């Protein structure tokens, strides 16, 4: 039984299918969606470079042997070996013999007034699609405003986007959206592309700290050159529907607040009654959960010890990245199969292959295997890495084809308005409200 069909769960099931024949194991996945979401490419869905379906890899197609139960697991009874699922048609109880927990993470919101009601995350397809449509709607509304003092002040609110968190989510989002909007804004008669204001806020003193100081500075230079207002060393004090107040008391008029300030383990983890570290489930290096039998946990939800980290320091958990979740999925499958007498269990150890960040246009920063790259070369490497990491051939072909079309055809600007704003707010879109 696998909980969560993201990078960790999907890869675990794919490998289990190979290791254990149908006579050895019944494989079940509980997940709220019938696809793996390739989240590193979400900013490209927000800009419309990619179609949402391009990055939603069908579990039914890729894992035909796996029984898919749609819904959220809300409780796990480790003694009775049962779990409860809230699905589209109500609650159900499922039994398991071996359990892999891979429910991932949710956007960390902190307790800041107004963020619950006015900020949008970028972790699900509905959020990416909503943000895109919302930004287009702001351009429409700004274009229709009269040239009066009230009209001008509302125009500033509508043409300002504030993104919080200068890690890969916030930085890639701002960089790619700015590049997209700059290219399309002249289609609105009264909007000057330079009038749209982008603000990137982070309490830390660097952009993209995951990539190190040098590449962080490069990314900062790209953003500054494009006119993005990067505010480091400050955070958000409060937000309303029309403004964002920073901790240095500056009030930024804005109707678009995008929240990418870190992640927290799925709220399911806090409900299990098991030890956690930094909110993630404590597990051993073999990904077993201490104190309960036949349970493993991986990915963003688990604090898997990083055996590849500097041995002279206390062992940190592996960072919450797709790369680790994917490899932990493969490794946990081996260990689960070993518990059934197939092969040998091993601790998880993986040296980071490095991160890549696409900054839109021909810009990017990347550090594959420790080699720092910038500009078009980094962008090329970033795209190559994503094509390699997408889990199916059909997903790779769809993404590559859309990249090709986007480079030669006019940029897509239609607003399909499929997602209602109340459904796109972080708690609803990421199902956090299910656990309250």
* Residues making contact with ligand FAD (CB under 6 A): 3-9, 30-33, 39-40, 42, 72-73, 102-104, 122-123, 168-169, 266, 268, 299-301, 320-323, 325, 355
DSSP-based three-state secondary structure for 21: coil
Which is nearer to ligand FAD, 154 or 202 (by Cβ)? Answer: 202
**Phi-psi group of 415: left, alpha or beta (phi > 0 → left; psi -120 to 50 → alpha; rest → beta):** beta
Which is nearer to ligand FAD, 33 or 411 (by Cβ)? Answer: 33
- What is the greatest pairwise CA distance in the chain? 76
Query: How near is the Cβ of 43 to ligand FAD at its closest, in Å?
Result: 6
User: Is residue 281 within 8 Å of 295, Cβ to Cβ?
Assistant: no
Query: How near is the Cβ of 251 to ligand FAD at its closest, in Å?
Result: 28
Residue nearest to ligand FAD (CB): 6
Which is nearer to ligand FAD, 125 or 220 (by Cβ)? Answer: 125
Contacts of 279 by beta carbon, 8 Å cutoff, 6+ apart: 264, 265, 269, 270
Query: How near is the Cβ of 101 to ligand FAD at its closest, in Å?
Result: 9
Query: How near is the Cβ of 301 to ligand FAD at its closest, in Å?
Result: 6
Query: How near is the Cβ of 123 to ligand FAD at its closest, in Å?
Result: 4
For 174-219, strand residue ranges (E) read: 197-202
Q: Identify any residues that bridge with 160 across adjacent strands, giving them in sequence order.
A: 197
Distance CA 424, CA 430 (A): 9
Which is nearer to ligand FAD, 282 or 325 (by Cβ)? Answer: 325
Q: String of b and e for 123-162 (b: at least 16 CB within 10 Å)?
A: bbbbbbbbbbbbbbbbbeebbebeeeeeeeebbbbbbbbb
Query: How near is the Cβ of 55 to ligand FAD at its closest, in Å?
Result: 10
Nearest to 345 by CA among 40, 98, 174, 154: 98
Which is nearer to ligand FAD, 21 or 284 (by Cβ)? Answer: 284
Query: How near is the Cβ of 172 to ligand FAD at its closest, in Å?
Result: 7
Which is nearer to ligand FAD, 42 or 162 (by Cβ)? Answer: 42
The Cα-based distances of 278 to 210, 267, 298, 314, 325 in angstroms read 18, 13, 15, 15, 17
Which is nearer to ligand FAD, 115 or 142 (by Cβ)? Answer: 115
At residue 95, φ and ψ (nearest 5 deg) are: -105, 150
């Amino acid at each position: 039984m696998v909980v969560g069909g993201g990078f960790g769960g999907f890869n675990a099931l794919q490998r289990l299918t190979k290791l254990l024949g149908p006579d050895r194991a019944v494989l079940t996945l509980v997940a709220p969606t019938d696809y793996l979401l390739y989240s590193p490419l979400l900013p490209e869905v927000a800009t419309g470079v990619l179609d949402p379906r391009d990055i939603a890899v069908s579990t039914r197609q890729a894992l035909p042997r796996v029984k898919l139960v749609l819904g959220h697991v809300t409780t796990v009874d480790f003694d009775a070996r049962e779990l409860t699922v809230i699905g589209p048609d109500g609650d159900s109880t499922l039994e398991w013999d071996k359990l892999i927990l891979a429910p991932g993470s949710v956007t960390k919101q902190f307790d800041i007034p107004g963020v619950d009601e006015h900020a949008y995350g970028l972790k699900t397809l509905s959020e990416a699609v909503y943000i895109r449509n919302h930004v287009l709607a702001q351009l429409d509304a700004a274009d229709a405003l009269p040239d009066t003092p009230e009209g001008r002040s509302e125009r500033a609110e509508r043409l300002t986007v504030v993104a919080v968190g200068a890690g890969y989510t916030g930085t890639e989002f701002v960089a790619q959206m700015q590049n997209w909007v700059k290219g399309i804004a002249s289609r609105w008669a009264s909007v000057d592309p330079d009038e749209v204001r982008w603000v990137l806020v982070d309490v830390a003193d660097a952009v993209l700290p995951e990539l190190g100081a040098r590449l962080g500075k490069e990314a900062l230079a790209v953003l500054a050159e494009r006119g993005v207002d990067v505010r480091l060393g400050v955070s958000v004090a409060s937000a309303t529907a029309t403004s964002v107040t920073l901790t240095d008391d500056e009030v930024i008029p804005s109707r678009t607040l995008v929240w990418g300030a870190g992640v927290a383990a799925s709220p399911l983890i806090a409900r299990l009654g098991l030890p956690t570290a930094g909110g993630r489930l404590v597990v051993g290096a073999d990904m077993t959960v201490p104190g309960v039998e036949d349970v493993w946990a991986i990915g963003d939800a688990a604090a898997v010890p990083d055996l590849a980290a500097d041995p002279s320091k206390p062992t940190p958990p592996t960072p919450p990245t797709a790369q680790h979740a994917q490899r932990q999925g493969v490794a946990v499958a081996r260990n689960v199969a070993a518990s059934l007498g197939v092969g040998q269990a091993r601790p998880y150890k993986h040296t980071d292959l490095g991160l890549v960040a696409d900054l839109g246009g021909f810009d990017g920063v990347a550090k594959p295997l420790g080699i720092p790259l910038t500009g078009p070369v980094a962008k090329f490497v970033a795209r190559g890495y994503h094509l390699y990491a997408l889990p199916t051939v059909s997903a790779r072909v769809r993404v590559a084809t859309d990249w090709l079309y986007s480079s030669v055809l006019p940029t897509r600007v239609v607003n399909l308005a499929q997602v209602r704003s109340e459904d796109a707010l972080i708690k609803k879109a990421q199902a956090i409200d299910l656990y309250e």
